[in-house]
Structure 1
Amino acid sequence: MHSIPHAFDLNLLLVFRALYQHKSVAKAAESIYISASAFSHALNRLRDVMEDPLFVRMKGEMLPTKKAEEIAPSIFESLALISQQLFQVEPFDPISSTMEFVIGTTDYTAFCVLPSLMKRLSVIAPNIKIRIMFEQQEALFQSLVLGHVDAVIGYSEQGEMNHSAIVEQLCFSDRYVVVVPKRLYSTMRLEDYVEAKHIRVSAWGEHHGIVDRVLKTMGITRQIALELPNMMVAPYILESSNLIMTLPSKAVEQFRTIHEIDVFDLPIKVPDYTVNLYTLASHQTTSPQSWLSQILLNVFEPANI
């Protein structure tokens, strides 16, 4: 098996191709944006490696030797293959693409966005595949930076996002409400809220969200009877228990259509539940990822959620 000589500079192949095509050191150097002097030094290095002059000046032109003619097809083919496999960007056509996009999110956000997203994609990109990933926020941000995830959608109540490579765009804000079993309460006072036993949803894997932090400033601690990693099973538990829970209102609007529950305003003031779209900066994203980001932002427009 033959191998490339140690420390061989593959840029020398570009020098070979440029001179083969232009037959002039000055024109060849200009075509690859280096000086004529640097080009001559590179050509001499290539001659030493190949142990052949490769190009000889005749009648005012640099003409290829027999050796150069023999190796030219392989060099051109190799450069074309590298360009095609590593650097050529094919136009992205949503209507025909079969790409799979990976979106990191929480179950609440998926609950809000997926019906509208899949409906829209069925029309404008029917062969696109979507894979949803549920992980802790920090792990999803790392996957986004490493290119394993195309976008992250989630709430930002737990503090500032501190990844300089990631861009944050607001999708929507929502208010918290209290969800209780049907006819268990006629009102929801602070005393009722504190005395009740709660279901807590820890979507990002954190155990003390904004509600608990606000209560702590008031010297109050909730009684957590059940902690869940997602909210989808919670309404079924509410229907057969005396537990209560605090959720963003948009999810509750959907639950009310199929579950026997009552909804009250939260008896304490907490910041709104803010959902953001997290992507890499535009110069680090591919054309398909930029397209996906725009589709997601459109789905989150007020008329669509």
Structure 2
Amino acid sequence: MMNIMHPALRRLDLNLLPVFDAIYRHRSVRLAADELAMSTSALSHALSRLRMTLNDPLFYREGHRMCPSVYAAQLAPSIASALKFLNQELTPQPEFEASSSTECLQIAITDFTAFCIFPALMHQLQHNAPGLRFELLYLPHSPALTELLAGEVDLALGFSTPDDVRHPELDEINWFEDEYVVISNKSRTQLTLEDYLAARHLVVTPWNEKRGVLDLQLEQMGYTRQIAIKTPSMLSAPFIVAESDLLMAIPRFAAEKLVPAMDIKIFALPFEIRPFEVKIYSHKRSGKRGATHWLKAVLQLLAQEVNSGR
């Protein structure tokens, strides 16, 4: 036999519940009708239908007051609570106003994506959206698919890999594209392919991946490199390179930002590889739709400025 969901609700016109609630609170048909913008005859008709459906008189008149029956008194708290909950949940969300918003967005990042985006973003938002807040979260994989689909994060700032597969529920924006370069200590004077393969390397693996895109490319060329250190964080990596003989491949944008702060040199990567891409991922049905749409538009404009200024 077919299982019929909510059999009691299927028999009841839910529009009658506000009628019940108003009569119970006001103890008056006239005052209830005024609150609901109904005529007293229409409200009396609604009450008659409700009595027939629930098979109870619900209210009886004592002088000028409508007094609840025992059954109505039992129902009243649950009906009032349900109506309050539905009213709150079904109220349309207000339009997002960046200048006054205090919304908090959860954003999945790596060290590098935060380094690329947030200095310029926060410089701009301090004027346009000073109350907007962020929680930056490190996640052990890209593009934080599970977390985005579950609504645990609002945006994810990741970088593309050869294994990327587009998910139909996610929007993605190509935010930033850059070439790889190599940084070393100040004593190095040249970097040929032979030099690169003979050196030892530091590799940043934000998701503890076994192999990076450069290792996959070298493997296709028939080479391997000597990896001395793998680390999930970019913070210490350039300092280690500056004080050792290790090499580190890094997007040029980051390398040029680091040069004034430490004793490192930049060399061209001595083999061809596809550009480094930073992407912005979001769920198509984000629970913070107004805020995420606005922020993505800001980020796209910011990407044009960053790329044109390089």
Coarse TM-score class (shorter-chain normalised): 0.7 to 0.9
Q: Which residue of 1 aligns with 2:87?
A: 83
Query: Structure 1: which amino acid aligns with 2:199?
Result: A
Q: Distance in 1 between matches of 2:234 and 2:102?
A: 31
Question: Partners in 2 of 1:139 and 1:175 — Cα distance?
Answer: 21
Are 2:286 and 1:286 aligned? Answer: no
Report the CA distance between 1:105 and its aligned residue.
Answer: 1.5
Q: Pairwise CA RMSD of aligned residues?
A: 3.4
Partner Cα distance (2:136, 2:286) in 1? 24
Name whichever of 70-79 and 126-135 sits farther off: 70-79
SS in 2 for 1:115: helix
Alignment of 1:139-158 (within 5 A): 140-158=144-162
Q: Which runs of 5+ in 2 are unaligned?
A: 1-5, 21-32, 60-65
**Which residue does 2:207 correspond to in 1?**
204
Give the percent of matched residue pairs that are identical in Structure 1 and Structure 2.
Answer: 28
Give the letter for the 1:215 counterpart: L
The aligned residue for residue 246 of structure 1 is: 249
Instruction: Find the aligned partners of 2:298 and 2:192 in 1 and give their Cα distance.
Output: 41
Give CA deviations for 1:18-58 in whole Å, capped at 9, x if unaligned. 8975679xx99xxxxxxxxxxx9xx968733352489xxxx
The residue aligned with 1:98 is 102
Alignment deviations for residues 260-283 of structure 1 (CA, whole Å, 9 cap, x no partner) = 111111111111001111111267
Matches within 5 A, 1:1-305: 8-9=8-9, 12-17=13-18, 47-49=52-54, 51-52=56-57, 78-138=82-142, 140-184=144-188, 186-281=189-284, 286-303=289-306
**Whole-Å separation in 2 of the counterparts to 1:202 and 1:295:** 29
**2: CA distance between counterparts of 1:245 and 1:173?**
19
Looking at structure 1, the residues matched to 254 and 193 of structure 2 have their Cα atoms a distance apart, in angstroms, of: 23
C-alpha distance in 2 between matches for 1:223 and 1:118:
38
Residues 14 and 214 of structure 1: CA distance in aligned 2, closer, same or farther (over 3 Å): same
Partner SS, residue 180 of structure 1: strand
| Equivalent pair of 2:142/2:159 in contact (CA under 8 Å) | no
> Can you give the 5+ residue segments of structure 1 that lack an aligned partner in the other structure?
1-5, 29-39, 55-64
The farther-off stretch of 237-246 and 80-89 is 80-89
Displacement of 1:198 in angstroms is 0.2
The CA deviation at 1:291 is: 1.5
| 1:9 maps to amino acid | L
Please state whether the residue corresponding to 1:257 is helix, strand or coil: helix
Deviations 1:142-177 (A, max 9, x none): 111111111011111242234221111111111100
TM-score using structure 2 length: 0.76
SS of the residue corresponding to residue 135 of structure 2 reads: strand
CA contact (8 A) 1:12 1:46 kept: no
Check whether the contact 1:282–1:290 (CA below 8 A) recurs between aligned residues: no
In 1, Cα distance between equivalents of 2:113 and 2:102: 24
Compared with structure 1, are the counterparts of its residues 286 and 15 closer, same or farther at alpha carbon in structure 2 (3 Å cutoff)? farther
**Alpha carbons of 1:290 and 1:139: their partners in 2 closer, same or farther (altered >3 Å)?**
closer
Relative to structure 1, the CA distance from residue 196 to residue 283 in structure 2 (aligned partners, 3 Å threshold; closer, same or farther) is: closer
